[in-house]
Amino acid sequence: MKYITDFVIERREQLGDQYFSLVLRHPGQLPPIAAGQFVEVEVKHCREVLLRRPISIHDVDEQRNTLSLLVQVVGKGTSQLSTLHEGEEVNLVYPLGHGFELEGSHPLLVGGGAGIAPLFYLAKCYNRNGVKPTILLGGRTRDLIPVREAFESYGEVVYATEDGSLGEKGLVTQHPRFTDCYDHICTCGPTPMMKAVGRYALEKGIGCEVSLENMMACGIGACLCCVCDTDEGHKCVCKEGPVFDVKKLTKWLGAAK
């Protein structure tokens, strides 16, 4: 079931030049939310932004009835959202999409850039199941990998940066820990990164889920602007994703079945 609700901004935190986080309090009781689902956020007071913005759910606190968003400022919509203040209200359509399945007893979570956002709640959910994942986070520089210390509470975290400012120098797929023995991989981030991770998983016979970041407008599968060509036909990423099993995405991967 989907809901439309006004949340109150309980806390806002600036995280470097490009990121900020919002902790949003629900006026009542939060519904069940799966790791990997997202919200559509209304952008108020900006005539140039008519559509809601899809943003991954970064964290959920069921006891306090709050959910958190980790947002990268990349355009007019997210720039307008960055001007919000504590105490203001923001309207969400939620929870949207299909989340991760929490497979494996020794999983690897691979995130790049803003794609690290849903992996935090995913790591937290794995912990609830008694599983400590290995978490591999990457970015161009260390400043583009926010909330690092928070991740370290939920698994072993290793880093890769293109400039070598944090962890190993290079891409996440070049990190020595990437080729360790895992029984499941979950990834979210830039498309080239996810395709490289997905191809590797297929080649090695490792179960793998990817969270696609297609352009989304409605969030409910009505506008068809986020369609992806899967092995089972065209699927709306916002409704039947954003999380897909790579075995159903060999066309997208450009890989042989």
pLDDT number for residue 38: 96
Q: What domains are there in the chain, each with its CATH number?
A: 3-96 (2.40.30.10), 107-253 (3.40.50.80)
CA distance to 55, 59, 129, 185, 197, per residue, from 213 (Å):
10, 18, 27, 17, 15
pTM, full prediction = 0.95
Residues whose CB falls within 8 Å of the CB of residue 222, separated by 6 or more in sequence, listed in order: none
Residue 99 has phi, psi (to 5 degrees) of: -95, -170
pLDDT number for residue 255: 55
Q: In which band, very low, low, confident or very high, does the pLDDT at 196 lie, cut at 50, 70 and 90?
A: very high
Query: For a pLDDT cut of 70, what percent of the chain falls above it?
Result: 99
Locate tokens 């989340």: which residue? 99
The residue length of the chain stands at: 257
Higher per-residue pLDDT: 213 or 89 = 89
pLDDT number for residue 219: 80
The 10s digit of each residue's pLDDT in 138-173 is 999 999 999 999 999 999 999 999 999 999 999 999
pLDDT number for residue 256: 46
CA distance to 21, 29, 76, 255, per residue, from 42 (Å):
16, 21, 13, 38
Mean pLDDT of 134-140: 97
The 10s digit of each residue's pLDDT in 204-249 is 999 999 999 877 777 877 887 888 889 999 889 989 999 999 999 9
